[in-house]
Structures are given as C-alpha cells and as structure tokens.
Amino acid sequence: MSEDLKILDEVTNSEYKYGFVSNIESDNAPKGLDESTVRFISAKKNEPEWLLEWRLKSFRHWLTLEEPTWANVHYPKIDFQDIIYYSAPKKKPSLNSLDELDPEIKATFDKLGISLIEQQRLAGVAVDAVIDSVSVKTTFRETLGELGIIFCSFSEAVHDHPDLIKKYLGSVIPHTDNYYAALNSAVFSDGSFCYIPKGVRCPMELSTYFRINSAGTGQFERTLIIAEEGSFVSYLEGCTAPMRDENQLHAAIVEIISHTDATVKYSTVQNWYPGDKNGKGGIYNFVTKRGICMGDRAKISWTQVETGSAITWKYPSVILKGDYSVGEFYSVAVTNNMQQADTGTKMIHLGKKTKSIIISKGISCGKSQNSYRGLVRIGKKAEHARNFSQCDSLLIGDKCGAHTFPYIEVGNKTAKVEHEATTSKVGEDQIFYCNQRGISTEDAVNLIVNGYCKEVFNQLPMEFAVEAQKLLAISLEGSVG
C-alpha cells in the first residue's frame, strides 16, 4: 500500500470526535406531520393566532409542492411522517444565573469546549445556546439591552416584539420559496432573533450553537437578523451534533435584512455528524439562507466552513437591492468518506454599482462528492454591477469528485462579471519541496490545504478561525493528498 493510500485509510477511520448523547428528558411531539402537528407546535409555544395562521398557510402550500431533485446529491427518500417535529428539554429553563442550568446540558457544552462561563468571562461572546430547538440560555442580554440590541430566542421575540416579527418574518424567504423553506415555515420550533438599532455597532460577536440531540428529531431553526441604518453586527453560528445511525433532517432558515449603510457578517462553522465511512447515518443539512441589502451601501457577508453533515445542500444568498450595496461569500467545504455537498451562493444584483465577490474552496477526499453551484444575476437596471467569482477544487484520492455549476445571467451591458474555476490535486512538487526541507508529507499536506483555504479563514472572527483550522486538521488527520 502506498503512503497515500495508507494515510487516506487512516483518515477514513478517524472517528467523529463529538459523538455522544446526553440524556435530557424531552417533551416530544408525536411522530408524523399533519395540521395537528403544526397546531401542537404552535400551542406548545403559546403562539398568537396570526402566527399559527401563517404556519398553516405554509403547511398547506408545502403539501402542494414536490420534493426537489435537481441537486447533485443522492439519498433515500425522506419519510416526512417518520420525523418528530418538536422536541424540547422538559425542565423549562427560565434561569437567573448559569448555576441553575441543567448539569447535563452544561456537561454537553463542556464536551464541545464551549463552556458558557468561560465564554462569558473570557471571550466576551454572548451565546444563545440552542439544544433541540428551544433556546436554553441567553447570556449578555443585559449588556446588549443597554445599547438597544435585541438578541433573544425566536419564540421570545414573537411575544415581546411581535411588530418586528410580523414585519420581517418571511420577507426575505417567503413561505413559498422552496420545498424545505415551506416545511420550515410550517413547523419551525425555535431559533434566534437579533435586532440592531440605528447607528449601533454591536460590541461583541453574537453567537448561537445549534445541536441536534434527540434521536429522530428534525431540526427546524429559524433565524432573523435585522440591522437598522448604519449599524454593524457580526454573527457566528456553530454546529456540532452527536453520532446517530438514522439520517436526520435539518431544514433551517436564516433571514438577514441589512438597511442603509448597515453591515451584517454571518459566519458558520458546521461540523455535524457526517455518517460513518460507509455512508450510514449523518445529518441532511438542507438549509435556506438569504439576506437582502435593502438600503444603499448596505453589506452582507457570508463566511462558511462546512466540514460535517452527510449531505450539505445550501446556498447562502444576497439580494443586492440598494445602490452601491455589497455581497460577499467565502466558503470552504470539505467532504470525506461518503459525504456529499452541493453548496454555493446566489448574488442577485438589482441596484446600481452593486458589487459581489465569491470565493469558494472545495476539498474532496475519500469517496465524497463536492459540488459548487452558484448564481450571479445582473438585473436590467443594475448599472455598472461588478462580480468576481473564484471556485477552486482540490481532490485528495481518486474515488472522489469535484464539480462546478455556476450560472451567470447578465442583463445589463455595463456589468462586469468574471468567473473562474480550477480543479487540481495537491502538487507532488509542492509536497516534495516541503519534504526536502524536513517537513513530513502529512504536515506538508496540512500546510498546503491550510494555505489553500487561507483566503476564507481570514474572513472568520478569531475564535472561529481557530476552530475552523482545528476542524480542517481533524478532517485531514494523518492525511496526504
């Protein structure tokens, strides 16, 4: 066996570090999906009538839709009647201090290395921790409250800020948008809500950790971020999930509204359970994420590091409506074993002199399939719009695949759109160069891959950049290209 193959074999055998199950008593909805499930969820959350109506409208629309099949991913048909649509920790947490937190939950976070106390004291990060759909603990809310920033769970926002929710819910991603968006709109359990008032610069990184815990639970998060005129916020989302045999569906929605001169930076590190090396188990990550630059000079920036999930299928997008607005997308997607990823972005240019940049780095190992799919659309009125896209793929091993499907639609002659893509493997000459200087092949590959992803990692906030590099190292553990 050659060195390459041996090390590849080691990688494929490396175990999922975060695979454990915490025993928290769950208050589950009965399995299956019909109108009564939607009513059950709504009742559980004590929701006002208008929201229930909205959910039911979404549900009825969902019934008329067909499951989409156009993506370059393959999986057994999902039985939507075999999913538990609501699961909440039984002890209703309304806590005054961290000490009151369920010790099990706290231990779970400790294993993940995101001790709330640590984070609160040292990192200055406000964490809205979500375990199975109900927001357990929101920290730093008071500090944020002084600035007028609202950062709370979605269900709290429904009760405390119904006007904002009514105004913005579904305004970027309508319930009719796509199959999974309609499903989410019908059965979403909880999520995060964030509102930055006019002219406020959020003093800390806002962060949510999603975890999928109970077996057979689909997770349907909903995040809504509103940045008023001239404000700034950096939002982090991190995901880890325990090891499970059954495939689990995750169909979340993230909506971002960025008003005049506001900037929203949304960073994701996704490390859900990818399934074992035979492709058994793992999360289906079918997420709809979209932001809109409503006003002039608004900016939305997506950064994602996708290392987990059996199937990742998502396209964080930006609608550039305001003149001079800016959309950014930086992505690293690593697939190993039997993982599949079909991810990318959509940049819809509507306003004048709008700009977008897309940097996508795909790395495929094992028997995985990694696709970039993206759309750049320049509307008829988008004078002098500018786009630059670069999609690179790196192949490690001869059983994997890397694919690029960019759609470029230009409807205005003053637009300048550039797209380039390359596919290659780690150069033998590069490895040889490192070997010559006393760097082992394994370290050399790590070095080269890290360098390859640097453009994206540079966009991540510090804590995340460190975590992302660690994740990458785990993914490529003992590896050689």
Partner 1 sequence: MSTITKYQTASTAFVQEAQVFADLYGSAHPTLAAIRKQAIVAFSNRGIPTMKHEEWKYVNLTSIAQTDYRTASPADSQKLSNSDAEQYRYAGKDAILCVIENGKLNVAASTMTGIPAGVRIGSIDDFSSDAAVMSHLFTHASFEEEAMVALNTMLCYSPIIIKVDAKVKCDTVIQLIFATVPGVDPLLIPARVLVVAGEQSEFTVVESYHTLGAGALTFNNVVSEVVVGKAARVHYSKIQVEGDEAQHINYHKVNMARDSYQHLTTLSLGGAIVRNNLNIRLDAEQVNAYLNGLYVLNQKQVIDNHTLVDHAMPNCYSNELYKGIIGDQAQGVFNGKIWVREDAQKTNAYQSNKNLLLSNQASMNTKPQLEIYADDVKCSHGATTGQLDDEALFYLRARGIGETVARSLLNHAFAADVIEQVENETLRESLMQLLDVKLSALQIEA
Contact partners, residue 197, CB within 8 Å, separation at least 6: 147, 148, 149, 228, 231
Which whole-number Å values give the CA distances from 436 to 192, 271, 444, 451, in the listed order?
A: 51, 34, 11, 19
Q: Which stretch binds partner 1 (CB under 8 A): 249-257, 334-342, 407-415, 461-469?
A: 407-415
Would you count residue 418 as binding partner 1 (CB under 8 A)?
A: yes
Closest listed residue to residue 452, CA positions, set 356, 360, 316: 360
Choices 20-28, 88-96, 306-314, 416-424; region in contact with partner 1 by CB under 8 A: 416-424
Q: Does 407 bind partner 1 (CB under 8 A)?
A: yes
Q: Minimum CB separation from partner 1 for residue 407, in Å?
A: 5
404 binds partner 1 (CB under 8 A): yes
Q: Rule CB under 8 A: is residue 410 a binding residue for partner 1?
A: yes
Binders of partner 1 among 384-403, rule CB under 8 A? 393, 395-403
Of 117 and 421, the one with the shorter C-beta distance to partner 1 is 421
| Helix, coil or strand: residue 433 | helix
Indicate whether 88 belongs to the interface with partner 1 (CB under 8 A).
Answer: no
Measure the N-to-C terminal CA separation of the chain; round to a whole number of Å.
Answer: 15
Q: Could you count the other beta carbons within 10 Å of the beta carbon of residue 430?
A: 15
How far, in Å, CA of 349 to CA of 333, rounded?
A: 25
Binding mask 53-72 for partner 1 (x = CB under 8 A): -----------------x--
Q: How far is the CB of 201 from partner 1 (least distance, A)?
A: 36
> Considering beta carbons, is residue 301 or 337 the nearer one to partner 1?
337
Q: In the set 51, 56, 147, 421, which binds partner 1 (CB under 8 A)?
A: 421
Closest CA to 213 of 274, 152, 305, 283: 283
Phi, psi of 342 (to 5 degrees): -130, 95
Q: From the CB of 35, what's the least distance to partner 1, in Å?
A: 30
Stretch of 44-52, 188-196, 297-305, 415-423 contacting partner 1, by CB under 8 A: 415-423
320 near partner 1 (CB under 8 A): no
CB of 397 vs partner 1, minimal distance in Å = 6
The number of helices, as runs of H, and strands, as runs of E, in the chain is 12, 24
In the complex, the smallest distance separating the C-beta of residue 415 from partner 1, rounded to whole angstroms, is: 6
Residue 422 lies near partner 1 (rule: CB under 8 A): yes
How far apart CA 312 and CA 342 sit, in angstroms, is: 6
Are 478 and 442 within 8 A, CB to CB? yes
Residues 6+ apart with CB under 8 A from 239: 209, 210, 211, 268, 269, 270, 271, 272, 308
* 171 lies in the binding site for partner 1 (CB under 8 A): no
| Min dist. Cβ of residue 412 to partner 1 (A) | 6
How many residues lie near partner 1 (CB under 8 A)?
A: 34
Find out whether 135 and 14 touch, Cβ atoms under 8 Å.
no
Q: How far is the CB of 8 from partner 1 (least distance, A)?
A: 11
Return d(Cα 452, Cα 397) in angstroms, integer.
Answer: 17
Q: How far is the CB of 402 from partner 1 (least distance, A)?
A: 5
Interface with partner 1 by CB under 8 A: which residues? 70, 380, 393, 395-425
